[in-house]
Amino acid sequence: MDHFLYRDGVLHAEDVPLPEIAAAVGTPVYVYSTATLARHYRLFAEALAPLPHLVCFAVKANSNVAVLRTLGDLGAGMDVVSGGEYLRAKAAGVPGSRIVYSGVGKTVAEMRLALGGGVRQVNVESEAELRQLSAVAAGMGLRAPIALRVNPDVDAGSHDKISTGRKTDKFGVPISRARAIYAEAATLPGIEVVGIDMHIGSQLTELAPFEAAYRKLADLAAVLRADGHRIARLDLGGGLGIPYAQTNEAPPLPSDYGAMVKRVLGHLDCEIEIEPGRLICGNAGVLVASVIYEKHGEDRDFLIVDAAMNDLVRPAMYGAHHDIVPVIEPAPGTARAPVDVVGPVCESGDTFARQRPLPPLGAGALVAFRSAGAYGAVMASEYNSRPLVPEVLVSGGDFAVVRARPSFDEMLARDTLPPWMSGEAG
C-alpha cells in the first residue's frame, strides 16, 4: 500500500495534489510520502518481533537526508556502503551505534571515518580487508566490531545485475572458507567478532532463496560457536522485492518473511539485523514529469516527457518496468492507445516504456512514474548537462523541497578553466 491516490480525479501524495507540487517546484520532480515510509518501516519491525532485531535501512536505495531522518526518528538503523552514505546517516541524526558499514571496497580513509565517528559493525568482505581494518583500528587504539560477509552460492533468481550471493559474484567470501577466516580474525589485535553477514541480492519475489541461504547461515553459526567465536548477531541483508506493475505479481509480505526468519534462525538466540531498502522506499516515491510533445512515427507514436534516463535510469539499465499514470484521472471509458514513452536525452536507450497503453495526453499534461522512490534520485546524473531532479517530501497536507534543483549557473560553476585558458598563466 502507498499513499498516492486519486481524489476528485487528481493524483495526490497524501493530502497534497501533485499538480500543486509541480506548479511550485517544476518538473521533473521526485515526490516522497512520509506516511508510506513510516508504514513500510513498521511492517518490518513488527514482522521480526519478538526477536531482538534492528531494521537498518539500505541508504543506497534513497540517500536523501530528510528520508533518512524520517526513518531514523522511528528507530531505524542505517546500512551504508560508502563514506558519503555514512556522513549522510550521521547528518540525519542516526548514531553510530545504529550504523552498519557494508561495501566491497572500503578504503583506509573510510575505515578511519567510521571507526572515529562510531559504528555498530563493519561487514568485512575479504581477508585483505580484514587485515587492513585490523591495522587501522589498532593504530587508533580501537577494536573494530565485525561480521564477515559470507557468500552462500545461492542464486536469488533476480536480475543478473542485482544478484549478489552466487560464487561468481564479487561479494563476500566463499562460505567454505569462512571458518578459517574467522580463526584468523580471532588473532588480529584490531578485530572483535560479533556476528555473520549475508546478502544474496535485490528484488527477490520468493522466499525460497532466502530460506536456502539462511539455513546455510544457521549451520555456519553453530560451527563457529563450537570453535569459540562470539556469534551474537546475524545480518541477513535485504532484498525483498516490490511489485513494479499493477499486476497479479505478489512478492512475499514482510510478515511472511519474518515468520520464515523466526522458523529458520529463531533457535540461535541471535540479534537479527536486516537491511531493506526498496520495500521501504520504492512505493513511497513517484517521479512527476510533464509531456513536452506527442510525436507520430511511421509505425508507432511517441510521448516525449521532460524526465529522462539521467533522472530515472532503471528502465534503461535494467529493462525495469514502472507504471506510468496520468496525474489527472481519465474519465471512465476513455480509450487508450499504445505509445512509446521517451525522454529528451540523445540516446535510443532513453525510453521508459514501449507500446504502453495510455489515454490521450497532450503537451503540458502531467504523468507520474510509480514506485520510483528506490534507486531513482540516488542513481541520477547530469548527463546531457541536465540538472539533477529536485526531491520533495510530503507529510499530510504539507510539502517541502528536501533537495533543490541546481541552477545552470550552479552546475557550470563546478567546472573551472586551467590557468593557460583563463589568462592567469605567468
Single-letter residue type at 360: P
- Whole-angstrom distance, CA of residue 103 vs CA of residue 80: 8
233-235 and 271-274 as β-strands: parallel, antiparallel, unpaired? Answer: parallel
Q: What is the DSSP letter of 114?
A: H
Closest CA to 395 of 90, 69, 24, 92: 69
Torsion of CA 201, 207, 208, 214, to 10 degrees: 70
- Whole-angstrom distance, CA of residue 163 vs CA of residue 339: 32
- Whole-angstrom distance, CA of residue 167 vs CA of residue 172: 9
Strand order in the sheet with 10-13: 4-7, 10-13, 16-17
DSSP, residue by residue, 370-410? SS-SSSSGGG---GGGPPPPPEEEEETTEEEEEEPPPPHHH
Active site residue: 56, 270, 281, 346, which one? Answer: 346
- CB–CB of 133/190 below 8 Å? yes
Angle at 39 (CA atoms; ends 37, 43), nearest 5 degrees: 115
Active site residue 346: yes
- Whole-angstrom distance, CA of residue 34 vs CA of residue 14: 9
Q: Which residue has the cell 544457521?
A: 218
Q: How many CA atoms lie within 13 A of 417 on its CB side?
A: 7
Q: Name the residues annotated as catalytic.
A: 346
